[in-house]
Amino acid sequence: MTRTTPGLLVIFCLIFLLSGCGYYFPHVYDGPEKSVYMPNWKNRTDKLGIDAVMYQSLSIWFQKSKAIRITKKKETADLILAGEITFIDLPSVAWDGNARTTDVKVRLGLRYVLKNLKNGKILWEVPNDMWTEDYDTLNQSADSENEALKQIIDDVSEKIYLGTLDKLRKQNKAE
């Protein structure tokens, strides 16, 4: 059995890291700085304030990148990210052996578009995106539905953030 010295181990680690294994961090955008105009999303549901929750969640995700900033000024923006919440539904219920509900599925429908404001080109459009989340009715918490919605909105926001970064990377390669 041979022993490797700590210095040799460090050299191997550096070679591996510098060799460019092809891995990248999808949450990191290292391209040119971009500003994204994001108006408030339209709320086509009867759930008050869900549009504000969506805006706040997206803003939090976009703050993860130092090269992208959200702006309320369309005139100075490079891109626009606009969307609307098209529906919210509580369509299906699961029952236990005593005819009591145990799980309810919250469904949320959305549509959104990412557009380059400089050339008018649509970079990404999702006309009908539906998300589902279960929540437990056995704990009798009034917040269960809101927690399910919050989870959906966070998941959607992450998807939109990562999708935006992906579209920007592709746009940068094409330029």
Mapping DSSP to helix (H, G, I), strand (E, B) and coil, where does residue 8 land? Answer: helix
**C-alpha to C-alpha distance for 59 and 22, rounded to whole angstroms:** 29
**C-alpha to C-alpha distance for 47 and 49, rounded to whole angstroms:** 6
- Where do runs of H (alpha helix) occur along the chain? 6-18, 50-62, 144-174
- Structure tokens of 101? 């509900």
Whole-number pLDDT of residue 3: 55
- Among 7-11, 86-90, 129-133, 169-173, the range with the most confident prediction by mean pLDDT is 129-133
- Structure tokens of 46? 């009867």
At 21, the amino acid letter reads C
Asked if 125 and 79 count as a contact pair (C-beta separation under 8 A), the reply is no
The single-letter DSSP state of residue 41 is P
Residue position matching structure tokens 């649509």: 122
- Structure tokens of 111? 């549509």
Domain locations in the chain as residue ranges? 30-174
Q: What is the β-pairing status of strands 79-95 and 34-37? A: parallel
Note the pLDDT tens digit of each residue in 14-52.
455 444 555 445 667 778 999 999 999 999 999 999 999
Note the pLDDT tens digit of each residue in 46-86.
999 999 999 999 999 999 888 999 999 999 999 999 999 99
The single-letter DSSP state of residue 75 is G
Q: Closest Cα partner for 110 from 125, 91, 134, 130?
A: 130
- Alpha carbon distances (Å) from 123 to 15, 16, 55, 75, 114: 37, 35, 20, 19, 6
Given 3.40.50.10610, 3.40.50.880, 2.60.40.2250, 1.20.120.1200, which CATH number is that of 30-174?
Answer: 3.40.50.10610
The single-letter DSSP state of residue 159 is H
